[in-house]
Amino acid sequence: MRVLVTRPGKDGQDLVKILGDLGIDSMLEPLLTIRYLNTNSLNTEGVQAYLSTSANGITALINANPDYNIPLFAVGDATAVTARLGGFKTVHSASG
């Protein structure tokens, strides 16, 4: 079996290594590149919650100096862990 890995950056490289360790041949072809904007302030007026679908999204949010007291909903457990480690006080995971 040969697997096409489309995850960007280190995530893709890590997955290729895991697959290789399992004896699965893979090819890394990222479909996108993660870039973080130079944002150092985020207007959270009226925001009741954050929603994130990836750990990269959490990293981008942290770079924007968010209000860590606003609840954060994460699609999966890995994203939720990244949010908790990043300082968010109330994190809910959909365990996806």
Question: Domain ranges in the chain?
Answer: 1-33, 40-96
Phi then psi for residue 74, to 5 deg, are -115, 140
Name residue 70's amino acid. Answer: I
pLDDT at 36 over 90: no
In CATH, the number for domain 40-96 is 3.40.50.10090
Report the C-alpha gap between 79 and 96 in whole angstroms: 10
Q: Which of 96, 47, 44 is nearest to 74 (CA)?
A: 96
Report the C-alpha gap between 40 and 31 in whole angstroms: 27
User: Which residue bears the tokens 């302030």?
Assistant: 41
Residue 8 pLDDT: 93
Tokens of 85: 């480690």
Residue 20 pLDDT: 97
Q: How confident is the model at residue 38 (pLDDT cuts 50, 70, 90)?
A: confident
